[in-house]
A and B are shown apart, each in its own frame.
Chain A
Amino acid sequence: MSTSTTSGRTSGDRLRAEAVRLAYDDRTIIDGLTLSVPDGKVTVIVGPNACGKSTLLRALARLLRPSTGHVILDGEQIHRLPTKEVARRLGLLPQTPIAPEGILVVDLVARGRTPHQKLFQQWSEADERAVRSALEATSSMELADRAVDELSGGQRQRVWIALTLAQETDLLLLDEPTTFLDIAHQIDVLDLVEQLNREQGRTVVLVLHDLNLACRYADHIVAMRDGEIVAEGAPVDVITADIVRDVFGLDCVVIDDPVSHTPLVVPIGNRHATASRGV
């Protein structure tokens, strides 16, 4: 495998979408999209609202069946694999999961063990170990006996991530895990994601709205518009003023992030439009 950060297209990747057409009822969202998720990397999907990011993620997680094309997991069509088998290899955190009223953190995280359980094997020692290490990895052990309702937004998001970790999958898909969080908690969650990737070697796919955070945390970035991939590759190659204008219809200046030395998008906006023309 090549060492370049744009090696996402190698056909050996575990999770791929091949020429998929994705539609709800008769409304087509994505038509003929091909994507390979680079193994062991953090991939971030960005794009304007309603461009099909979440739809793509749902298809990658087998929640939406492509009307044409295939999603391939470990060389097999994902829809030919049993749901439970998929759930042992690939975890998804949807945008708006629902915490039952009054549920305790530990009980919620324990639900992540579902794909490993059977009718007569409902709470093995392996289940207990996995829940414990998921709580530890997300530093939420001290929350274990609290009700999910009473947690802050950031804590709650960590707990949901703990649930998907308890699933013990190498592949992790997170749909907008930082929405509704303040900036400190956004960084908190993304640091956690990075740690999971670097320390445990998990492949992570995220949908994010903040381009600058996307550039910081992504090894591989996928920019989408109207159900199509406009550009993908390393952040420094993908996030340019031209592509941001093309994808988001936003004029901006891209500078070097003084901390991470990744691209930093500085939007222009009406107020400063004339002033910056000369730059």
Chain B
Amino acid sequence: MTVVADPPRTLPPETRSRTAPERLPIRGRAIRTRWFSVRLDPRAIAVCAVLAIVIVVVGCWSISVGDFPIPMTDVVATLFGHPTADSEFIVGTLRLPRVLVAVGVGAAFGMSGAIFQALVRNPLGSPDIIGFNAGAALGAVVMIVYIGGSSTQIAMGAVAGGFVAAVLVYLLAWKHGVKAYRLVLVGIGAGFAIEALIDFLITRARITDVQRAAVWLTGSLNGRSWEHVRVVWPALLVLGPLAIVMQRSLDRLELGDDMAAALGLRVSRSKLALVCVGVALAALGVAAAGPIAFVAFVAGPIARRLVRSPGACIVPAAFVGALVVVIADLAARRIMAPTELPVGIMTAVIGAPYLLWLLTRQARTGAL
């Protein structure tokens, strides 16, 4: 009988941490006081901080360029309350509100997209794909064509239209519960039907209204003023924190309805609340800038990839959405200058190829 010496004790990779590590390898860092404890993800915070800086830089650049260029230094000086003779009007009245609306609208679309994509568990579930934005646009067009449409009226029309579309899509997709793929397909169909309805309304409207509606319908930030800022930002400051608070229930819902309920979540109520906030955010964006395509659709997936988080990243998606709209608007203004393109064309240039890629991939893997 031969005695074999013990093999050298190199542990296979799976067992290298068999003794419990000192610290759980959990995401983020715990911050605790007596009445408060929270786990913050340093990576998410870093991503948001970097995005915020880029938004400010691109925003200032966007303010500085145009038919009448303002030097960056003057832009910054004006923003800090020391305007020069020229910059006061151009920055303060023309370009700053436009950038502020772009940021607000992008953030709203981004959050709305992140919420719905997580709820539907499919990146195709964003409000611009499944007809909610179209519904909001229809509401707004009805206001423009029949009522006249101050920005508050358009906003109310958009919110109403968005909710009607959401309810309609949900009911049409209902068959012993709502399956994600059916919701997406029904939503895409409903979106086309609603757009047909918008076309119908436009052919019957007065030519001046048609022009206004047509530009607005492609998604445009032309001529956005403080009036629009005053609609977007207060609403965003209410809806944004609500969405952030609901991130927790959204994360639980991603485990499946039964698991979420077993963890003590009131599933129907949480879903309803999330849908309401999500629709309101999408409608808000549509009301201020028209149904800018694909912002909600791309913001969530980009944010997830940057943060490397498995959950819906509502806050990072807001920053990504804002950046996308600010950049797209800058491009729309400058590419064919002095002609200004609608910003929706620029976002479509980015979003449409991604949509096609996603559709073919999901068709191949059978997810759709």
Give chain A's interface residues, CB within 8 Å of chain B.
24-25, 58, 61-63, 83-88, 91-94, 96-104, 106-107, 110-112, 114-115, 117, 119-125, 127-128, 131-132, 135-136, 141-142, 144-145, 164, 167
Please give, as numbers and ranges, the residues of chain A lying within 8 Å of B32 by CB-CB distance. 123-125
Say whether B176 contacts A25, CB under 8 Å. Answer: yes
CB pair A106 B25 closer than 8 Å: yes
What residues on B are CB-neighbors of A107 within 8 Å? 26-27, 310
Given A88-B264, A120-B36, A141-B17, the answer on whether A110 and B310 have CB atoms closer than 8 Å is no
Work out how many contacts link A and B, with CB atoms closer than 8 A.
126
Q: Is the CB of B262 within 8 A of A61?
A: yes
Q: Are A142 and B264 in contact (CB under 8 A)?
A: no
Residue of chain A at shortest CB distance from B35 = A120
How many angstroms between the C-alpha atoms of A102 and B128 in the bound complex? 26
In the assembled complex, how far is the CB of residue A170 from the closest CB belonging to chain B, in whole angstroms? 15
Q: Which residue of B lies closest to A87 (CB)?
A: B264
Do residues B38 and A122 form an inter-chain contact, with CB atoms below 8 A? yes
- Listed by A's residue number, 26 A-B pairs whose Cβ atoms lie within 8 Å are A24-B176, A83-B265, A83-B266, A94-B259, A97-B256, A98-B121, A103-B311, A106-B27, A107-B310, A111-B263, A114-B252, A114-B263, A119-B248, A120-B35, A122-B39, A124-B32, A125-B37, A135-B24, A141-B17, A141-B20, A142-B14, A142-B15, A142-B18, A144-B21, A144-B26, A164-B262
Q: Closest CB-CB distance, A164 to chain B, in whole Å?
A: 8
Whether the pair A98, B37 counts as a contact (CB closer than 8 A) is: no
Which residues of A sit under 8 angstroms from B245, Cβ to Cβ? Answer: 119
Main secondary structure of the interface of B (DSSP, over half): loop
| Cross-chain contact A124 with B37 (CB below 8 angstroms) | yes
Seen from chain B, the residues whose Cβ lies within 8 Å of a Cβ on chain A are 14-18, 20-21, 24-27, 30, 32, 35-39, 121, 176, 245, 248, 251-252, 254-256, 258-259, 261-266, 308, 310-311
Cβ-defined contact, A115 with B24, below 8 A: no
- How far is it, in angstroms, between the C-alpha of A86 and the C-alpha of B266 when the chains are bound? 12
B132 to A: closest C-beta gap in Å: 23
Residue of A nearest to B28 (CB): A123
* Chain A positions within 8 Å of B17 at CB level: 141-142, 144-145
Neighbouring B residues of A111 by C-beta, 8 Å: 251-252, 255, 263
CB-nearest residue of chain A relative to B27?
Answer: A107
Identify 9 new A-B residue pairs, CB closer than 8 A, beyond the known A98-B256, A131-B26. A83-B265, A97-B259, A98-B254, A100-B254, A107-B26, A110-B26, A111-B251, A135-B24, A142-B18
Point out the residues of chain A lying under 8 angstroms from B25, CB to CB.
Answer: 104, 106, 144-145
Output the least CB separation between A73 and chain B (Å): 13
CB-based contact A83/B264 at 8 Å = yes
List, in ascending order, chain A residues with CB within 8 A of B252's CB: 111, 114
A-B pairs with lowest CB-CB distance, top 4: A87-B264, A115-B264, A145-B25, A94-B258
